[in-house]
């Protein structure tokens, strides 16, 4: 298969190349694309050197799938051009996620919705993906009424510049700032930009994308998204109110049997999910599962995943694998 990776020089783009190699994705030709300033630069894939090409050159080569991770503006402008060339676009940006005619896909939950006509497919936001992987089986069985979410998000979600900011701060070097404040030894209750309603865009993504993926606009959701000086992955504290009551052991059992979920919940042995250990893993880790005694039919849960993997690259490649395995490409 001919595959283009748009944003191949970025953090997610690099992770996409790693995950394509690890999963032995059937690639005959790889087209790495980045901005004009990177055209001609060399990248390494599967031990071979490739030159970065321009967007137009990639479109003219008519890849079967283009995996985009180059920001919303780039996706809005260029995904339709790839579509015209007959390419399936799997897009990591927020550009198409809430478009009423575009599908927002987490393969464990809703890949079966995809058809040959879905040429632009949206990959959800990183913090949404890991949460819905854990929530979807619970919603099916107990029906979620309300979610109260607090996130503890890795700086890698912001991109190369944020990782450089943290490295510079730790090395005592003055450099370019990705955030309005220092991030080392700090927490910023500010992920993405503020909207008119005083929530951040990241918080609104969690709210709107979760409803779209779970196909249920009746779920009431509120969120606070916080950036923390962590590199390995995102963590989330989620309070869930169900319509039906649950048996805690049965619920944990359901999670342990759910695709893509690993239960790490033995507090007496200090076993619970942590970003340091979710780093470079493709699964979603859940733990600290306990009844919320302050409210009927309610539960607290801690959810952790590598935001560059299941939150971005791995999910996008699982979508590409679905297209390939189901002969949609
Ligand atoms: P470049 O390296 O040439 O700037 P990150 O989010 O980690 O900063 O990565 C962003 C990725 O998106 C990079 O690969 C970057 O390429 C790419 N990119 C940014 N703007 C464009 C554009 N207009 N066209 C294609 N790729 C772009």
The strand pair at 234-242 and 144-153 is best described as: antiparallel
Binding-site residues for phosphate: 97
State the helix-helix crossing angle for 126-142 and 201-213, rounded to 10 degrees: 40
CA pair distance 315, 164, nearest whole angstrom: 25
Instruction: Please check whether residue 312 is in contact with residue 92, taking contact to mean a CB–CB distance below 8 angstroms.
Output: yes
Measured between alpha carbons, how far is 61 from 240 in angstroms, rounded to an integer? 47
Give the CB-side neighbour count of residue 269, counting CA atoms within 13 A: 6
Q: Which atom of ligand 1 is nearest to the CA of 7?
A: 14
Pocket of ligand 1 from Cβ distances under 6 Å: 6-11, 13, 33-35, 37-38, 55, 70-71, 74, 159-160
* Ligand 1 atom 14: residue of nearest CA: 7
Pocket test for ligand 1, best of 4, 5, 6, 10 (most atoms within 8 A of CB): 10
What is the pLDDT at residue 168? 98
pLDDT, mean over the chain: 98
Confirm whether the ipTM is greater than 0.85: yes
Distance (angstroms) between ligand 1 centre and the Cα of 136 equals 33
Q: What's the gap in Å between 35 CA and the centre of ligand 1? A: 5
Give tens-digit pLDDT for 70-120.
999 999 999 999 999 999 999 999 999 999 999 999 999 999 999 999 999
Q: Which two tokens stand for residue 326?
A: 């189901």
104 C-alpha vs ligand 1 centroid, how far in Å?
A: 22
CB contact set of 305 (below 8 Å; sequence gap of 6+) = 129, 130, 133, 233, 234, 278, 281, 283, 284, 285, 311
**Cβ contact 157:311 at 8 Å:** yes
Confidence (pLDDT) at 134: 98
Q: Which atom of ligand 1 is closest in space to residue 78's alpha carbon?
A: 24
Positions annotated as catalytic residues are 126, 234
Q: For residues 163 and 231, give the distance between their C-alpha atoms in angstroms, rounded to a whole number.
A: 8
What percentage of the chain has pLDDT greater than the value 70? 100
- The reported pTM is 0.97
Q: Which residue CA neighbors atom 3 of ligand 1 most closely?
A: 35
- pLDDT the model gives residue 5: 98
**What is the CA(60)–ligand 1 centre distance, in A?**
20
Predicted confidence at residue 237, as pLDDT, reads 99
CA distance 62 to 67: 13
């Amino acid at each position: 298969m001919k595959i283009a990776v748009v944003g191949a020089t970025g953090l997610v783009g690099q992770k996409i190349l790693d995950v394509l190699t690890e999963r032995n994705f059937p690639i005959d030709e790889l087209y790495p694309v980045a901005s004009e300033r990177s055209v001609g630069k060399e990248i390494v894939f599967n031990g071979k050197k490739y030159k970065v090409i321009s967007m137009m050159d990639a479109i003219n080569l008519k890849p079967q799938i283009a995996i985009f991770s180059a920001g919303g503006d780039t996706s809005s402008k260029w995904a339709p051009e790839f579509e015209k060339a007959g390419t399936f676009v799997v897009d990591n940006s927020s550009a198409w996620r809430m478009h009423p005619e575009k599908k927002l896909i987490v393969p464990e939950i809703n890949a079966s919705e995809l058809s040959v006509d879905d040429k632009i497919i949206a990959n959800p936001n990183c913090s949404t993906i890991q949460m819905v992987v854990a929530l979807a089986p619970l919603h099916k069985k107990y029906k979620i009424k309300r979610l109260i979410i607090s996130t503890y998000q890795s700086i890698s979600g912001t991109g190369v510049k944020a990782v450089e900011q943290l490295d510079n701060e730790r090395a005592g070097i003055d450099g370019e700032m990705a955030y309005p404040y220092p991030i080392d030894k700090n927490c910023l209750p500010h992920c993405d930009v503020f909207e008119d309603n005083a929530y951040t865009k990241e918080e609104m993504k969690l709210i709107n994308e979760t409803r779209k993926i779970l196909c249920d606009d009746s779920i009431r959701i509120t969120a606070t998204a916080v950036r923390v000086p962590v590199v390995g992955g995102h963590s989330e504290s989620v309070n869930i109110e169900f319509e039906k009551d649950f048996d805690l052991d049965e619920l944990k059992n359901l999670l342990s049997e759910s695709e893509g979920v690993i239960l790490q919940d033995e507090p007496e042995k200090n076993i619970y999910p942590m970003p340091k250990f979710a780093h470079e893993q493709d699964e979603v880790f859940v733990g600290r599962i306990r009844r919320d005694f302050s409210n009927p039919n309610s539960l607290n849960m801690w959810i952790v995943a590598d935001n560059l993997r299941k939150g971005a690259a791995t999910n996008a490649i699982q979508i590409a694998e679905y297209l390939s395995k189901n002969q949609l490409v």
